[in-house]
Structure 1
Amino acid sequence: MRFTLSTLIVLSILITSCKGEKKDKKELIKAISYKNKGHELVSKMVEKVGDYRTLRNKKDVVYTYTYQTPDGKTDVTTEKYIFAGELSYGKYEQHERTLSDLKGSIEQGFDGENYWLKHEGQTVKDSIALKRVAFNRPTNFYWFTMFQKLMDPGVSYEYIGEKTLDNFTYDVVKVSFDFKNSKPTDIYQLYFNKNTALIDQFLFTVADYGAMDKPNLMKVEYEEVDGMLFPTNRKYKKSTWEADVSDKPWIKVNWSNIKFNNGLGENDFKS
């Protein structure tokens, strides 16, 4: 069978196209392969709220963080982060529970290498106060990016099964972390809404304070900001691993006035 030059060119294009299509299909299959059902549920949730690449593309964020305990003590902070490098800053205009012995405004920061603290513009070197800063800065940053970071390397997923809470049946996934160091890490138990694929609530520990056997239950409500979903309304209190909470009032947390791409630079995070 003889082919003209033009026919050979067309056949070559078709063969190349088919190979490319097969390659694309293989990449697609690879992209959507999951370690287990727990990993699949987390992955689909992140697809819905927005992944970390989408968040990093927003460069930075400024928002108001309000934290209130049942006795009415309240912290109100202006939080600022640069996502690349996880730089973090917080200015506390009200801090009735965080370093409450320091009257007036305080500023906390992490510049990528060091934690620092200022009280009324003056540098504070107290080691106990700086230890609190070293907890607050990465913790606040992590809470804001938590759902995206559930796809980080070193995260393990275990599908626990279904559980009914308040007449609603959830898919439950246990999440643990292995970061190759001796420091204990937190454990999360996530409750996925079968209708929305979102996490309505989750149990969490606080490893830094040794509270590994007594989790808290966090309930969240979402807000859409700049094309992403954020759990901006939050409340939590002590619980069991069966998600049975106490009768005590909730601790309430709110993120408001969220704004991205503010043009922040590294100098905004230096002491």
Structure 2
Amino acid sequence: MKITQKPTLYTLLTLAIFLLYSCGEKTTQDTNTNQSPSFENKGHELVYHMVKKVGDYQTLASKKDVTYTYTYTTPDGKSDISTEKYIFDGELSYGLYQQHERTLPELNGPIEQGYDGQTFWLKHNGKLLTDTTALKRVAFNRPTNFYWFAMFQKLLDPGLNYEFIGEQSIESNNYNVVKITFDQVGDKVTDTYQLYINKETSLVDQFLFTVADFGVIEEPYLMQLTYEPVADMLIPTKRKYKPSDWNATVTDAPWITVNWTNIQFDNGLEIADFKK
């Protein structure tokens, strides 16, 4: 079976995050330990303390695995709703899509995506699919969804560059603004993050990110976050984003929303749960 699909904003965003993920894939850093690191600059220090506030990668990895419900909705009202499962050691990833109006909408009925540490795979109504176009989408979605969930923890991975931009006030909140770029590996294009770290809470209330695709740098998107305490961590369970500029201007464009619900850590998942 051959499945074709036109590139969408969703595809471009997932590709960009996948490329970012690839630059720091399966890596850790001394800053993920309890010992304070030597900071490159003020921006690095601000990011370090922010990550410690929400919970660093060591804290996340100690929970071994996570399950949650992922809901992605675009302005036209179409949604993906999946049950996500990850094992942190090896960054194994699984998604059961009960609804997939944005991801492979040509297929009727539930689809499953998996990454077992070596292989990406796809099932439709329990049957394995081998279509290369569809599998490329799996290769985007699995690491992308994992990266979004562990994004703040992975901002202390090697290969990242930090720059303190300055201070900025937005709607009565005072922020330290930090720019993050990624070391380029080969010909892979990478994106830029610009974090707005609340000076009072040390949390990222919002951030800008670019979509670097085929060497074309687009204007940034603005992501705004709402946190929820889960176990001993602060998880940005509600997210919304849309086009913006480098002043973080809120435009009239509609929001794309991403919600995480029913988050459960340490479920006893095994590698076999991620095999096709």
> Is 1:61 aligned to residue 62 of structure 2?
no
> Is 1:120 aligned to residue 122 of structure 2?
no
Residue among 266, 269, 273 paired with 1:261: 266
Q: Separation in 1 of the partners of 2:136 and 2:166?
A: 39
Q: Residue type of the partner of 2:57? A: Y
Matches for 1:200-219 after TM superposition, within 5 Å: 200-208=205-213, 212-219=217-224
Farther off after superposition, 36-45 or 179-188: 179-188
Residue among 244, 251, 270 paired with 1:246: 251
User: What is the CA distance between 1:210 and its match in structure 2?
Assistant: 5.6
Q: Please tell me whether Structure 1 or Structure 2 has the larger radius of gyration of its CA atoms.
A: 1
Higher helix share: 1
CA contact (8 A) 2:211 2:218 kept: no
Matches for 1:149-188 after TM superposition, within 5 Å: 149-178=154-183, 180-188=185-193
SS state of the match for residue 219, structure 2?
Answer: strand
SS state of the match for residue 46, structure 2?
Answer: helix
Structure 2 vs 1, CA of residues 223 and 164 (structure 1 numbering), >3 Å: closer, same or farther? same
Deviation per residue, 1:159-214 (Å, 9 max, x gap): 11112323433111000111533211121000010100110000112335766322
Unaligned runs of 5+ in 2: 1-34
User: What is the CA distance between 1:104 and its match in structure 2?
Assistant: 0.6
Tell me the C-alpha RMSD between the 2 structures.
1.4
Unaligned runs of 5+ in 1: 1-29
- Aligned residue for 1:195? 200
* Number of residue pairs the alignment of both structures matches: 242
User: What is the CA distance between 1:45 and its match in structure 2?
Assistant: 0.5
Percent of matched pairs sharing the same residue: 64
Farther off after superposition, 55-64 or 179-188: 179-188
Of structures 1 and 2, the one scoring higher in RCO (CA 8 A, sep 6+) is 2
Q: Separation in 1 of the partners of 2:217 and 2:265?
A: 34
User: What is the CA distance between 1:246 and its match in structure 2?
Assistant: 2.4
- Aligned residue for 1:70? 75
CA contact (8 A) 1:205 1:211 kept: no
Q: Residue type of the partner of 2:99? A: Q
Question: What TM-score do the two structures reach when normalised by structure 1?
Answer: 0.86
Residue among 105, 109, 122 paired with 2:114: 109
